Structure 1
């Protein structure tokens, strides 16, 4: 047997990898990838949010109205009095010969209750679709908030649904008032972008007009984001909304002010191009969350499906709005119901208690292996130490977050890793009892132990995968730690110790002292 074998070389490279990439986490250096600590270990912000699901229903009604308007314009159908009233879309079709074409389009919209009195249409959502829309609003809010926080750069935020309309958000590492404010604004910002036509014929009356009077014309009154005294009269049915936005990036105008450039999908680009070609000389209001950011004149047809939002943004504000637009608008507004800060003292206590458990468990296993298995126990302990370094390194490389259950997973992994070594060593001892040579015992011992080790590890890995798929928050962290631990323990226990035994085989054969090497007479 050669002293340097491929198993030992792979094991040595794994140890080097583990030590190098775990140093930033263990020493908390300024450079290098480190394991992020969860809310239960380093403290942070805990928030309970409520979703106004009724707004999602109203938004869907508005989307249906937009679809009716676009279809009518595209097919050159004449309609009159298109408006929204009490979660209903009302309009009158002027040509009875076009009823079949309109009915065909409306029947394609799922969950729509359609009633028609001659040529007057009233569109409502069915009770089943209203319930489905409200439920989907919460699901979409969870995904949207999670996407925003991921793009914001927060480490492993936890965003979970609670009950029918509430969402629990946990943000590790939020410790300053500035960070808390930025996170709360990013979470709660609806980012509802709409492109709306300004009613040029009656806009000069906007300062003397009431909301009900505006509604009679199918319009709404909106304020300017910079100056609340400036108002605009815009068509209630938007030309486009944020659902057509596929990208948004921060840029700077000629005066070096932060602006947001947005890009529309193919459908949005086509609608935008057709609208601007038919409305040259009129104004188009860029509305974000119910405020008019700009209302430029349309000088020519705007193709390419891109636009711009300018409104005196700071760079940070523009960045947050761009993130919100990219991740999608919230289907309904969210309200902060409860907020509490988790202090770092809790994290320090948790780390201390978990560290004691980790070190104690490791020390007991370490001592037991040496006493019972002698030098074979030392070989197993070397693999055990390597296993811990590799787990930390892999978690750091992938930017994983360590939580209290995750630390419990590491403690459990120690026991699982040493269990594989126990099985291997016992199989070696059984063959030695039969009088076989050391080389034969090593080969048969690993061969006989392999099936039991692989079977037990695969079943545990499957259980961890199920925990990760269906678990939430800390349960996922536990599943990730266990999964990494299983894979690394197979590397160290099967490959690593086998390589060490192959390197030590000449010395073991010369010594002829099986008691000293394997704890067996």
Structure 2
């Protein structure tokens, strides 16, 4: 036990110094941190601990997926799919396809055709994405066919819309350059967005958007059927523009969008590129409609309506609309992130000020100081010199936790501080197990060396068992929890890992060095 190799001592000291050095930038404040960064090389810039929304303030938005918009989109897609099916099956109709509140209806020219297409009608809206069952109620009243979308199909669509919304918002908010945003589901149809450090909710709302659904449609020609045309507002000039309802290319077919400048006018623009499917659709539409205006629709507003001068088969294009540089950059972020599946409505908007976060930090500091102070005092009174070793190991233990948080770029929240306070007690608990075992062996008549060796070796298994159990709990909290619960789990898990290092390895090293140079005749416990 007392044979502690020199290389192991040096490695332990090096790890301690590195952990303290990593923690220093987080303790010196932003101004001093900036001065430190100016004197260090560019490849070795100091990093600080990332604070969560409850510690440094930030923006809080709660969105709700618009169920009516989901139903509207499903209905429009059902109408287009029904038209395609009737065309492919060569089924004649009277009066065209009509749209109802939650479906469509059509009168067949020959009622006998219904039996021929009944099976395919029920497959137009599957109950689940890749599962069996129909999401439609199909009825036939002497040739008048009604297709109604079921509640189960709508619920499934809303669920998938929320999942897709979370993915899209993650990409968009990360485009702001923020650290550790919290984006998660709340309930069946709501999404929570929290961005630490961002005090401007308007800026966040511009990036997140409410729909940001990009669509490419043709401008309606005079004499087009009114049911196939809708009047949309224009962003670059007053008045509305008649646009065909049919969407030729959707925003989800975009693969990239970058801000730039028009080479002719030097105005800010957004250059975009389609995937193969989108490029083919775009090329087909522009080839068949040379000379017609082409509407670029974002959030049901026409942001640009250029005229198709020739076939555009390269799969790329440009959006111009009298943008500012910031507007072009924001729009490119929206387009790069992908299209939201449905309209979002802001249910709750809140800004957490840095003052409230500072109160949380102060409260957490007080709790940590009191916990550490009481633990240090107890160890000194109970174990004397060995208590000093335990307290030094405890200080290194806390330093390693903060260093791990910095290296992992994990977010420190108020529950995370609670997890660190908890690990303070857990860290000295391991020392208590070791010291009490040493005391028992010493009272049993063993020599100092034998008692120290037995104390560390026999307590080690108990320490590992208890810490493994706690680590399993921390892992469950992390994988099944979210937000603050995860912050607590991360701090707890890091504390458990560093406890084994500090309570066993470092304490053992200090006691070995103490015995080597002091050669005591009795144990100080």
Distance, in Å, in 2 between the alignment partners of 1:157 and 1:238 is 33
Structure 2 residue aligned with 1:187, among 201, 204, 208?
208
Q: Which shifted more, 268-277 or 402-411? A: 268-277
RMSD across aligned C-alpha pairs, in angstroms? 3.4
Of structures 1 and 2, the one scoring higher in RCO (CA 8 A, sep 6+) is 1
CA contact 1:53–1:138 (8 Å) conserved in 2: no
Q: Measured at CA, do residues 341 and 282 of structure 1 come closer, stay the same or move farther in structure 2, by a change above 3 Å?
A: closer
Q: How does 1:193-204 map to 2 (within 5 A)?
A: 193-202=214-223
SS at match of 1:311: coil
From the superposition, tell whether residues 186 and 465 of structure 1 become closer, same or farther in structure 2 (CA, over 3 Å): same
Q: Number of residue pairs matched?
A: 499
Which of 155, 164, 173 aligns to 2:179? It is 155
2:397 aligns to what? 387
Residue by residue, what CA displacement relative to the aligned partner does 1:148-175 show, whole Å, maximum 9, x if unpaired? 3233233333345444544444443233
Structure 1 residue 43 displacement after superposition: 2.9
Structure 1 residues 500, 246: closer, same or farther in 2, change over 3 A?
Answer: farther
Query: Hey, what does 1:487 align to over in structure 2?
Result: 497
Distance 1:50 1:116, change over 3 A: same
Structure 2 counterpart SS, 1:393: helix
**Where does residue 260 of structure 2 map in the other structure?**
251
- Distance across 2 between alignment mates of 1:128 and 1:406: 40
Partner of 2:42: none
CA drift at 1:219: 1.6
TM-score by length of 1: 0.84
TM-score, length basis structure 2: 0.83
Superposed, which structure 2 residues align to 1:225-236 within 5 Å?
A: 225-229=235-239, 231-236=240-245
1:79 deviation in Å? 8.1
Secondary structure, counterpart of 2:306 in structure 1: coil
Higher deviation after alignment, 185-194 or 239-248: 239-248
Task: Please say which of residues 302-311 and 482-491 is displaced more in the overlay.
Answer: 302-311
Q: State the shift of 1:291 in Å.
A: 1.5
> Shift of the alpha carbon at 1:193?
0.6
Unaligned stretches of 5+ in structure 2? 38-45, 127-134
CA contact (8 A) 2:215 2:250 kept: yes
Residue 460 of structure 1 deviates from its aligned partner by 1.1
Q: Secondary structure at the match of 2:241?
A: strand
Q: What 5-or-longer segments of structure 1 have no aligned partner?
A: 204-212
CA distance in 2, matches of 1:261, 1:363: 60
Quick one: distance in 1 between partners of 2:113 and 2:309? Answer: 36
Alignment pair present for 1:514 and 2:518 = no
Q: Is the 8 A contact 1:82 1:89 kept in 2?
A: yes
What is the CA distance between 1:36 and its match in structure 2?
A: 2.6
Structure 2 match to 1:107: 123
Distance 2:320 2:118 in 1: 38
Aligned to 2:11: 10
